[in-house]
């Protein structure tokens, strides 16, 4: 294992730990769940690419499952649990598909491109994550809602609100970080 690859996945490990630590920050907007953990994952994925992002997201998902999910009844159906934790959290790494063009835009100081790419990729990652939560919700409601009731509507109502709030959160925070701390997006030894 070469030095660069080791550094990339150790960074991913620390980012997964940071994402988990941020989940414990007090936050409440009614019943809707805000996930601060998406922000470090977005920065890391834009810094190191989608493969590294998927790995770090997977570790974040497993951490969340061990430290919160199992103990708080987040795993109520085998397929729902599998999609809700490892898959949905890993999917945030998709943000990394914007990494290569973002690095070019950073080098060339193309501000318009920079924000467009960062926000576009972040929105895609958040949407894919909540897309998986939606599927997990459909499976959950499919096995727990009364017969004849559409599980799609329940899952959409619960996950749709969270997706919108997290899109706004991630979009604003990533934009602020691009202005105030662009060096966070530039990989060291990159």
Partner 1 sequence: MMNKLLFGRFIPGESFVHHLDPRNKLLMSFYYIGIIFLANNWSTYLCLFLFTLLAVYLSSIKMGFFIRGVRPLIWLILFTVLLQVFFTRGGKVFWSWGPIVLSQYGLVNGVYIFMRFVLIIFMSTLLTLTTPPLSLADAIEAILKPLRVVRFPVYEVALMLSIALRFVPTLMDETEKIMNAQRARGVDFGEGNLFQQMRAVVPLLIPLFVSSFNRAEDLAIAMEARGYQGGEGRSKYRILTWHYRDTFVVLAFIALTGILIWLRA
| Candidate list 15, 46, 95, 105; residue touching partner 1; CB under 8 A | 15
Nearest CA among 165, 168, 158, 161 for reference residue 135: 158
Q: Closest CB to partner 1 among 85 and 132?
A: 85
* 89 within 8 A of 61, measured Cβ to Cβ: yes
Is 150 a binder of partner 1 (CB under 8 A)?
no
How does 120-131 read in b/e, with b if 16+ C-beta sit within 10 Å? bbbbbbbbbbbe
Cα–Cα distance for residue pair 7/30, rounded to 1 Å:
40
| Candidate list 66, 104, 108, 150; residue touching partner 1; CB under 8 A | 66
- Check the CA dihedral 175-34-167-106 and report its sign: positive
Q: State the nearest-atom distance from the C-beta of 16 to partner 1, in Å.
A: 5
Cα–Cα distance for residue pair 164/156, rounded to 1 Å:
11
- x/- site string to partner 1, residues 157 to 176, per CB under 8 A? --------x--xx--xx--x
Is 92 a binder of partner 1 (CB under 8 A)?
no
Task: Quote the strand ranges of the chain, DSSP E.
Answer: none
- x/- site string to partner 1, residues 118 to 147, per CB under 8 A? -------------------------xxxxx
- Binding residues for partner 1 (CB under 8 A): 1, 3, 6-7, 9-18, 20-22, 24-29, 34, 36, 39-40, 43, 55-56, 58-60, 62-63, 66-67, 70-73, 75-78, 81, 143-149, 165, 168-169, 172-173, 176-177, 180-181, 184, 188
């Amino acid at each position: 294992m070469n030095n660069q690859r080791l550094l990339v996945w150790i960074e991913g490990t620390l980012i997964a730990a940071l994402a988990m630590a941020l989940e414990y920050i007090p936050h409440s907007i009614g019943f809707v769940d805000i996930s601060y953990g998406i922000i470090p994952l977005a920065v890391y994925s834009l810094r190191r690419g989608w493969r590294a992002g998927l790995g770090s997201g997977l570790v974040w998902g497993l951490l969340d499952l061990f430290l919160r999910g199992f103990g708080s009844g987040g795993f109520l159906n085998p397929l729902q649990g599998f999609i809700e934790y490892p898959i949905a959290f890993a999917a945030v790494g998709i943000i990394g598909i914007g990494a290569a063009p973002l690095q070019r835009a950073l080098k060339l100081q193309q501000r318009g491109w920079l924000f467009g790419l960062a926000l576009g990729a972040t929105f895609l990652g958040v949407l894919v994550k909540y897309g998986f939560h939606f599927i997990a919700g459909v499976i959950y409601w499919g096995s727990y809602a009364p017969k004849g009731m559409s599980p799609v509507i329940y899952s959409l109502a619960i996950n749709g609100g969270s997706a919108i709030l997290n899109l706004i959160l991630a979009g604003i925070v990533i934009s602020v970080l691009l202005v105030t701390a662009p060096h966070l997006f530039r990989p060291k030894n990159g």
